[in-house]
């Protein structure tokens, strides 16, 4: 996954998903995480995604979207709903999800 | 650093900093990164910070702030300006910085 993501001029939306993994089912988790990125890329309004997880099990994934309605549609996607359910019951000890409107952006080397 | 950060009810602001490290000076970088977190915590309007970096050198740090003016003050802090300069010249191959207004948030287990 290219990182940082290439995104258009603001405004657009970011979903900031911060999580702490349980020790459960690393292979199943990894497969589902890859599948969700693949599926997200196919959704209308998807702009990009960035992800990092440290050795301590703490991770941050930020996905970028054209609009709040594209985020809502993705949240309600049938296969994504199944993944969300397994995330809550098995894979995540904690998470926090924040929806934010990107107002300004600048970078180096991209 | 506790992760996810405990933040108040939205709205508030997020600075999403995505970076790819150069191989240069890991010890110096680590010391400066810790110092910047320590210093950020002392700034007016600081709400919290979350950080993850994978083994591939890709990292995401999200800091949370009460207002855009608190973000601006932190960006212009003298010691932080020195760190930003070294980041551009030495430590980062690429980065992208995005300033976003958090509109909604929910979580699990926090």
Nearest Cβ partner of B60 from A60, A105, A109?
A: A60
Could you read off the pLDDT of A9-38 as tens digits, one per residue? 999 999 999 999 999 999 999 999 999 999
The reply to whether residue A96 touches residue B60, judged by beta carbons under 8 angstroms, is no
Q: What is the ipTM of this complex?
A: 0.94
Q: Rounded to a whole number, what is the distance in angstroms from the first to the last CA of chain B? A: 14
Name the nearest CA neighbour of A50 among A17, A23, A84. A17
Nearest 5°: CA angle at B10, between B4 and B16? 55
pLDDT at A110: 64
Strand residues in chain B grouped as ranges (E): 12-21, 46-53, 58-65, 92-108
Nearest Cβ partner of A109 from B10, B54, B94?
A: B94
What's the whole-model pTM score?
0.95
A101 and A78 Cβ atoms separated by less than 8 Å: no
Name the nearest CA neighbour of B14 among A17, A95, A97, A16. A16
Instruction: Looking at the complex, report in whole angstroms how far the Cα of residue A50 sits from the nearest Cα belonging to chain B.
Output: 8
């Amino acid at each position: 996954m290219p990182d940082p993501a290439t995104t258009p001029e603001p405004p657009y939306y970011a979903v900031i998903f911060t999580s702490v993994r349980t020790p459960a089912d690393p292979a199943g988790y990894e497969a589902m995480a890859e599948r969700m990125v693949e599926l997200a890329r196919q959704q209308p309004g998807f702009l990009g995604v960035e992800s990092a997880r440290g050795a301590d099990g703490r991770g941050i994934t930020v996905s970028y979207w054209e609009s709040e309605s594209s985020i809502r549609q993705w949240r309600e996607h049938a296969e994504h709903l199944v993944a969300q359910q397994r995330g809550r019951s098995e894979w995540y000890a904690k998470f926090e999800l924040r929806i934010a409107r990107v107002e300004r952006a600048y970078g180096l080397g991209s």
